[in-house]
Chain A
């Protein structure tokens, strides 16, 4: 090997007040990636889409406690952490994909998968059907009617939404339909007496593509809905592992448990321990992990390009059955910080292990 094995993290740059570079929500995570890479004699640098296209031999390297812009050995593997979907739909990104193909550079995660893409792909796996809430594209009134007839609660979610934003919740209450919205906490509740007025109102508010989803009567603790976030990573050998599993408890008055909506992270064992007796809690935890792993490997097989991580949201209903609520292709790194005294998170190690595996495969 002439030049060192090199990995690039591609993300957006921000500038701090003292004009230092900042990598937004993954800033700390990048440091851990860099530290762990060093331990494995890998070079790691952070770049952006435009920086990389301009010159792939320049990047930010973690040196002596700070990120320094320097010359770097061109990456053999790129870890895609671009957070803007718009960027991924741009001409520039297309150019990147072509360039990487021509130069045989691997990249994961290939791109965002939106909610409908995820659902359609998972539907190809019959063994996952019991855990997938019924989902359709939100286009026709008939679809909405059909959901409202079948289920007491129905959700409308934008296909590109994240962090629990812009989600509508519809509940049948005897004669009318109650509409709730996730982003504004108060004064949003509205009542509609017919599905046509409800459909019109939703269409008016939902400007982009959306899905209709069966509402699941999820488990609550003290009246607050609980769900689970399982981070799955590919490791050396390409197999999937659950690298962290946490419970999230929604804020009072919220129907989503996303951290961005005030949700609170609690240990999965604590929550399952409160909900179930010991043996049952054990099986529930194992089942959550098994479902997450099956979901991750199914999705990675179905999607174009490479995927090395997924954040999988699973809820448990009041009959104890788990449901796959959502899969995130660029999962937030906030959920696996729950362990103090751990300098490098398991997910950071897994990312580097997978990079190393990809590099070795190529060699």
Chain B
């Protein structure tokens, strides 16, 4: 339930609540990590509205009037939630505070009114540890603005890359906010391909969707895989955007290796033997953080491979739902369907014009994505609000999962027909933050009683 919170001039130390909000003796109000005692007055004149006098708003560091949710525990009324989005790469420009990712965050934050949360973006240097506040960036009707607010109710990690995420400084901050302040994080790290595979392999419901995979490819494992499957992929376990991927095929007694070179050009080289391929391509290349994966004969359109990006999000009830589906068509010579790699985004309707075939495939993709989301969450034991899956369909119409991304990119949303799903996924991320906040407050309450 969403309420519109209005901050009013006055020093009455009061929060006026609508009549449908029944209190059970609460004497405190809180916003994020800050609480204060105040008076609550039930006013029959209010409808889905909360009015707060200025003195309370100041003490709670509420930045402006907005739509909020209410959560209750024994002695406190929690307003919010206050959602912090953690990232790095801030600029000195107040109009473009997160550089070229500013519009990405702006789009996410501008959904907050629809959901009823206070959401802001912050980085390490915006935290004031002594005061227990953060000077975060909000996106309002007049643009970016910095405001001092309490520590958030929940934190969404949106660091730009694995390097920054793995830095000790970040890990220390995360741990402090988690353990000392009890603030839950969601999507708190990038997934590692090998870890995801190992976890999902253990689960009987997810195992059938996984291509055969092993860690640290050697010439021997590649040879085994090729004998079994005819083609293999070598992928960096911590890679993104399809970078560093090799596709090896055994074709007409020849070994072919396809990859994208450093200049971004798709290359293909053939060798008479696997050992000559290995010597030529991998003699200088360390593969100790690579995985080797069974190649799947994907369905094709006009000789171009197709795979699928399926987004799942948890909603305000904490239930997984599919929030976007797109097909990606690879460039003829490309190793992957990544957009950076000349891939093209299509809607499922464009790929499968026939209604009944389309519905069957959509059902399969939905079911698989939901099953895998639940399994992954169960196995990882962390809070996840959003996953972007890469799926393939083979010629027997079987679905395979290639990758799960905890910070899925937005490139599929450049397709005009998919743009509204960009909004939907943003809304759901904030809706999940509401769910997680409520859960956290309820749990904290339970642990005291």
Contact = CB atoms under 8 A, between A and B. Distances in A.
A207 interface: no
B106 A127 contact: yes
A287 B144 CA distance: 13
Nearest to B420: A301
A290 B419 contact: no
A267 to B, nearest CB: 21
Interface of B: 91-93, 95-96, 99-100, 102-103, 106-107, 110-111, 113, 139-144, 302, 339, 342, 344-345, 414-417, 419-420
Interface stretch (A242-250, A278-286, A345-353): A278-286
A130 B415 contact: no
A173 interface: no
A129 interface: yes
Contacts of A287: 93, 95-96, 102
Contacts of A320: 95
- Chain B CB within 10 A, most for which of A126, A239, A301: A126
12 contacts: A126-B107, A126-B110, A126-B111, A127-B106, A127-B110, A238-B345, A238-B416, A283-B95, A287-B102, A297-B414, A301-B417, A301-B419
Given A279-B92, A280-B93, A290 B102 contact: yes
Nearest to B94: A320
A237 interface: yes
B141 A130 contact: yes
A283 B91 contact: yes
Classify the interface of chain A: helix, strand, loop or mixed: helix
B139 A127 contact: yes
A237 B103 contact: no
B416 A300 contact: yes
B103 A301 contact: no
A130 B143 contact: yes
B107 A127 contact: yes
B139 A283 contact: no
Contacts of B345: 238
Interface string A261-300: 0000000000000000001100110110010001001101
Contact of B100 (A240, A290, A322): A290
A321 interface: yes
Contact of A237 (B113, B142, B344, B420): B344
A313 B66 CA distance: 32
A130 B110 CA distance: 10
Closest 7 CB pairs of A and B: A130-B143, A126-B110, A283-B93, A127-B106, A301-B419, A301-B416, A127-B110
Contacts of A238: 344-345, 414-416
Contacts of B139: 127, 130
Given A130-B141, A290-B102, A290-B103, A297 B91 contact: no
